[in-house]
Amino acid sequence: MLVKAAEQRYGEFSTGQMHFLNYLPVQLGKDADPVTREFWDFYRTPRGIHIPHGRTLELTQNRALTSEVRFVNFYPFNDIETISPRPLLFIAGDQAHSREFSEEAYHRAAEPKELAWVPGAGHVDLYDRVNLIPWTRLTAFFTRHLTVVG
């Protein structure tokens, strides 16, 4: 992948033509896995679609091959414990495919920390389904941990 991305980066420089990976097809296939289906339902519908100026529907929501290099050496949990003593609040849907990442982050983080599970929520549900967002929990957390400097 790194070699292909390096070659593509040079090609983009030379020709201006980008190569996009087809993560979210315009039409969802009947055999789509549940994670693709969940993201498609958000990013490919009026619920969350955004088509930037100069882009086409086909390219929207799909990353360029050269962008993938960023993920090769990205370890989001490295040094998470050093955020302490600043408090952390993790909020995740208990049905999220990414649940294990929230559990791992919480496990690795130092105190003070809290973990709030939203019953019945998937990964993208907390993007826009405001009725699922635990507003009371957020208010309590920020009231407890933010100090007004006057």
Residues of the chain with pLDDT > 70, as a percent, come to: 96
- For the cut 70, the answer to whether the pLDDT of residue 58 exceeds it is no
Name the residue among 69, 73, 109 with its Cα closest to residue 89.
Answer: 109
The predicted structure's pLDDT at residue 108: 97
Please name the amino acid found at residue 43.
Y
Residues 6+ apart with CB under 8 A from 96: 102, 121, 122, 123
Burial 46-69 (b: 16+ CB within 10 A, else e): eeeeeeeeeeeeebbbbebbbeeb
Structure tokens at 129: 């389904």
CATH architecture of 2-72: Orthogonal Bundle (1.10)
Structure tokens at 106: 């919480």
Structure tokens at 72: 């090769």
pLDDT tens digits for range 100-122 = 999 999 999 999 999 999 999 99
Sequence spans of domains, the chain? 2-72, 80-145
pTM for the structure as a whole: 0.79
What separation in angstroms does the CA of 105 have from each of 40, 78, 90? 26, 10, 8
User: Worst-scoring range by mean pLDDT, 12-21, 72-81, 100-109?
Assistant: 12-21
- For the cut 80, the answer to whether the pLDDT of residue 55 exceeds it is no
Residues of the chain with pLDDT > 90, as a percent, come to: 57
Where does the chain have alpha helices with state H?
2-15, 34-43, 69-72, 99-108, 125-128, 135-145
The predicted structure's pLDDT at residue 106: 98
The predicted structure's pLDDT at residue 150: 67
